[in-house]
Chain A
Amino acid sequence: MDRETIARVAKVARLNLTEDEMERYAKDLDDILNSFSVLDEAPAGESYSFNPIPVVDVLREDEPAQDLDPQVLRNQMGAYEDYVRGPRLS
């Protein structure tokens, strides 16, 4: 895996990598993906599912309830009054 590719992947993943990390992870991913190329020999199955068991839609009664106190959740997020603090968007 070349340096440009690993840098592109890291950017998508929102990770800053040092030069040393870049080199190391590129080598690791190369080793791993080369080993995983055995998958090319697997039959191309037509059917697959995103879960190993059938998952069905389940509906529950539409009853109003308060599971968690929103104030408690705001506390976890370091809220200021009724606002959630965050970084600049532009």
Chain B
Amino acid sequence: MSAVYDLIRYAQLRHRAFTEVVDRLDDGKFHFSAKDNLCADGFQARAGSAVLDGYRPPFDATPIQKMKEVGGQLVGKTTMDEFGFGTFSTNSAHGVPLNPFDLERSCGGSSGGAGAAACLIPGHIALGVSTGGSISGPASFCGVVGLTPTYGRVSRHGLIDYGNSLDKVGLLARSASLIAKHFRTIAGPDPKDPTSCAQPALPEKGKMPRSLAVPKEALQNLDPAVRSSFHDALARFKDIGVEVREVSMPSLRFALPAYYILATSEASTNLARYCGMRFGRREEELNQHFNDFFTGVRSESFGDEAKRRILLGTFCRMVGFRSRYYLKSLAVRQLLIEDYRTIFRDHDAVVTPTMPFVAPRFEDISRMKPLEMYGADVLTVPPNLTGMPHVSLPCAYVQGLPVGMQLVADHWKELDLLEAASAWEKAFEYRFPEVSP
């Protein structure tokens, strides 16, 4: 068996990066993986949830189909938080992925398995999905590059929804060049996903950002080591001829609540389809009233965080609360888009740390309250809420653990971000853990 296959099995067995892998690698094909909320023929698609146990979709999601068409072999499905509900990949019915740099720490979430696979397997490309930071977060904690494209750039046909106005399919890998190559493959309009049909064509080449803006509000409540590493990274950007300026973006403080209200509102309606009949787990006791039947399956199968988000989203949409929460959050999203645009008049991208801290230990995560966990998304939520493309890059190592920084550009300017990522990689050497399968 090949060395690459040994690494795939190692990533599955030692780091729980995969829920399923193939039996063998095909000759002449490149290897890629897909987060378990992307449907693929021949694999279960369970999105980290027990309610989907046994669901085998009879088709490939469009991004998977496109990767196969250019010679890719889907080698496995990667572990994730249930339906994407989490920041640390600890809310999964199918195993919690373990960080490549330290087995006692989180890979980030919700594309945690994708982050681990991208880090552990050289040349591997992992399809991830982000709703509020689920590509950037794992990229930061696992020390890899993670690209979240503009909302609507990549077809979501075959994606198991979390939040329709927020979900985006993207890529994680060890280098920007690998991501740039495969981003062209998965991008583009698809009649099966109308939101992908409004996009402009990708340009031939991106434009290197020459001016970066750092919102001062994004630098509050950071771990001191992350703050210090980030400032060192800014100095390095200046050394390679990029202007860095501090700006103010007061509306950032509204992003986290607006995101969680919209995301849970959309999730609570999307998850209504899991009723024990159409997908996955089927209740065999049919001699019940349909309300009891549906309620029983859902109550037994959804995990703790899924229930919490369904309850929160249902509450926010209820009569009497809709204007205060849901409609206000839509208005806040528009406000944030306008504020980003104001910054982009004078700057090519916004840069912040990706996460406020390095990968936390599982024992520390277990003591966190839900609100504290949501707060960990404070830096990844703004670009996700507004549909702006963003890329997370390793920018430092603190006590052997990677620190990520995140660059955000205006809608449709993914290639500019990849130019910046490429320039960064010439100035800063990434490190990866030594692996002996």
Interface residues of A (CB under 8 A from B): 1, 5-6, 9-10, 12-17, 21, 25, 28-29, 31-33, 35-36, 38-58, 60, 67-69, 72-73, 76-78, 84-90
Contacts and interface: CB of A to CB of B under 8 A. Distances in A.
Contact of B295 (A14, A28, A50): A14
A80 B310 CA distance: 32
B337 A52 contact: yes
Given A28-B308, A39-B258, A87-B286, A16 B194 contact: no
Given A14-B291, A76-B279, A86-B290, A58 B258 contact: no
B335 A45 contact: yes
A55 B165 CA distance: 11
B299 A48 contact: no
The number of chain B residues touching the other chain, given as a range, is: 35 or more
Nearest to B189: A58
A76 B55 contact: yes
B287 to A, nearest CB: 7
B411 A53 contact: yes
B257 A87 contact: no
12 contacts: A6-B311, A13-B311, A13-B314, A15-B311, A31-B370, A41-B254, A50-B330, A52-B386, A53-B387, A68-B58, A87-B287, A88-B286
B151 A51 contact: yes
B195 A55 contact: yes
A88 B286 CA distance: 7
B288 A87 contact: yes
Q: Majority SS of interface residues in chain B?
A: helix
Contacts, number: 173
Contact of A49 (B197, B254, B334): B334
A73 B385 CA distance: 34
Nearest to B282: A78
B182 interface: no
B58 A51 contact: no
Contacts of A25: 307-308, 311
A88 B194 contact: no
B424 interface: no
